[in-house]
Structure 1
Amino acid sequence: MKQRFAPAVWSIIYLLLLLSLLTPFSMVTAFLLVVPVAVLFAALPLKLFMLHIVPVWLAVALIHPIFLVMAAFFLVPGVIMGQLYRKQEPAMKVLRYGLAALLLELVLLLVVGTAFFQLDVNQYVDEIVTMTTQPLEDMGSSGALTGGLTWTAEQSEAISRMTQMMLPFAMILSSLLIVAITHAIARPVLNRMGVSVPALKRAKDWRLPRSLIWYYLLVVILDFASQDSDSRFLEVIVVNATPLLQLCFMIQALGFFFFLADNRKWHPILPILSAIPIVLFPPMQIIGILDLVFPLRQAFSKNKR
């Protein structure tokens, strides 16, 4: 692809991604919508950027106004990440700012929707869960489920309640996936277009703050406290903080295996394969915790000498 045609191609991609939001593919394409904005803003001057973006917005506005709302939502993190790419800021800073922008927008949407449009997220989640689990309830009541299995309304209610409480975690995880996918695609594209973009640290150098251990201990204490309390606030904190910390420990454990493979000159595929048991077998997270608490990497480096 010649560099002079690249912005036009990304404008077409941007248009197609916006149009896909009202199709069944939206569950996938929504995670890609920040990419064209970030690429175009980083590679072009502001006037040329607007020259490529505005026609796309006008085209989708003629089809349905909802496209403009979605475009505006994904424009903000795209512009922020594109500006940081243009300044050649560290990759981790780009991810943090993009993540913060998406989260703030999601919170703002919830506040505005609740205050002005009578949006009830809990009721919406309950309706989705009920619609999803109703066939299981019908099968259970008719004896269609095999092995003596049953599905009751109480189980559906429990899932609905847990889903409602884990909304913050879902918002954080989805925002994190969007910025991570954006960086993974935008960086090589921008490098080919002549815009130098710093890479993330190599996996063997991934080290998370040791303070996560104290956060983990605090969550454990809050978990015990919430069991003897009727406070929904404490329960929400525990339910959302626990999987986030577990995800952090998984990343730390994966970084340790990459370090170990590099230190011992193992085959590069081995640390990649280690991700499978780390994700599927939760107790493997203890490796990430130990790597945070103790100087394991220094010990292995000394042993090698």
Structure 2
Amino acid sequence: MKNVNRLTYGAILLAIFAIILLITLYIPVIGIIMNLFLPLPFIMFAGKNDIKSSLVFFIASIFISLIVGTLFAIPLTLAYGMTGLIMGILIREGKSRFNVFIIGTLVFLLNLVGSYIFSIVFFEVNIIKDSIDLLRESLQSSQKLLSSLGQDTSDTMMKQFENAFSMLETLVPSIFVISSIVMVFIIELVNTPIAKRFGIKIKNWDPFRNIFLPRSIIWYYLLLLLLSIFLKPETGSFLYSALINIGFILQFLLLIQGLSFIYYFSYIKNFSKAVPVIVTITLFFIPIVLYIVRILGIIDLGFDLRKRLGKKDS
């Protein structure tokens, strides 16, 4: 791309970025949706230009965000802009969609954690802890209100709520990881079709049914179970938090593996496409289905069920 064309292209994309950022910051309802498109200008620019030019574009976007939204816009620009930039560079280099997704997730996660730590250290604001404390206060207020109306609340129920809040605090690292995975997946989902329409060459996803995670995940999961049984870490300790979070992430991966197997099984048996979709939706409403799918993931990884069922070319 010639210098004049590159400058014009960059200026147009920066203007689009500024508009999306304005809507995100100042129009609450629409902004929630529009923030998903913040990485688009970065994907489109980095997808057609070299790394040096892309970095200049990224620096220019930070100045734009300062003008448009002051310091509060910087975290958004860093998180979405850097993620879009890296994704665009990887796309231009012809990397697979899975690699783009994984690296994009890591970049988004680093920015998310960085922003969280920055807000605690420099502004003494812990959004997650403050939100949980607010939930605790609301629960206590509700308990007092019910007591004043002559309706006693069960101590067991209140203890369960308190345990849930404590677990939520423990799972903060896992929540960051899962949130980053979901966010980058949605970002890819909504932005790549638009980028394709404007001439960015993006590879297609491999079918979900072909996903096969490393078998080492089973050994990590087994080791985790053994450590939990023999070490019996004290609740609230660092070891307890580490084991809980690693276990949560491993269980999530096993769930993905189990779902992938169900999609594969439905494919080779020529079931309706609605069958695996219904199973996926059911996970959110019937907990036992979630456990069954996770067990399927363990069996698939450990015993290679797909090989036993026979392969069918996609």
User: What band does the TM-score fall into relative to the shorter chain?
Assistant: 0.7 to 0.9
How far apart, in 2, do the equivalents of 1:155 and 1:267 lie? 41
- The number of residue pairs the alignment matches comes to 299
- 1:283 is matched with 291
TM superposition shift of 1:236: 0.8
Q: Does 1:100 align with 2:106?
A: yes
**Amino acid in the other structure paired with 2:133:** E
Q: Does 1:201 align with 2:206?
A: yes
How far apart, in 2, do the equivalents of 1:63 and 1:302 lie? 54
In structure 2, the CA distance between the partners of 1:151 and 1:143, relative to structure 1 (3 Å rule), is farther
How far apart, in 2, do the equivalents of 1:22 and 1:163 lie? 30
In structure 2, the CA distance between the partners of 1:109 and 1:144, relative to structure 1 (3 Å rule), is farther
How far apart, in 2, do the equivalents of 1:227 and 1:48 lie? 50
The 10-residue stretch of structure 1 (238-247 or 93-102) with the greater mean CA deviation from structure 2: 238-247
Q: Does 1:12 align with 2:21?
A: no
8 Å CA contact 2:58, 2:82 repeated in 1: no
1:162-201 pair list within 5 angstroms: 162-201=167-206
Compute the TM-score of the two structures, normalised by the length of structure 2.
0.78
**Structure 2, unpaired ranges of 5+:** 1-7
Q: Which secondary structure does the structure 2 equivalent of 1:274 belong to?
A: helix
CA RMSD of aligned residues (A): 3.6
Q: Which secondary structure does the structure 2 equivalent of 1:195 belong to?
A: coil
TM superposition shift of 1:288: 1.1
8 Å CA contact 2:14, 2:61 repeated in 1: no
In structure 2, the CA distance between the partners of 1:139 and 1:209, relative to structure 1 (3 Å rule), is farther
Deviations 1:128-167 (Å, cap 9, x if unpaired)?
A: 3235434433344335879x65797655543332222111
TM superposition shift of 1:124: 2.3
Q: Which secondary structure does the structure 1 equivalent of 2:206 belong to?
A: coil
In structure 2, the CA distance between the partners of 1:260 and 1:152, relative to structure 1 (3 Å rule), is closer
TM superposition shift of 1:272: 1.8
Q: Does 1:270 align with 2:278?
A: no
In structure 2, the CA distance between the partners of 1:262 and 1:123, relative to structure 1 (3 Å rule), is closer
8 Å CA contact 1:222, 1:234 repeated in 2: no
How far apart, in 1, do the equivalents of 2:132 and 2:281 lie? 33
How far apart, in 2, do the equivalents of 1:241 and 1:59 lie? 36
8 Å CA contact 1:57, 1:68 repeated in 2: no
Deviations 1:224-271 (Å, cap 9, x if unpaired)?
A: 245364561221123212222222122111211221122122222222
1:104-115 pair list within 5 angstroms: 104-115=110-121
Q: Which secondary structure does the structure 2 equivalent of 1:209 belong to?
A: coil
**Amino acid in the other structure paired with 2:113:** V
Compute the TM-score of the two structures, normalised by the length of structure 1.
0.80
8 Å CA contact 1:40, 1:49 repeated in 2: no
**Structure 1, unpaired ranges of 5+:** none
In structure 2, the CA distance between the partners of 1:266 and 1:282, relative to structure 1 (3 Å rule), is closer
Q: Percent identity?
A: 22
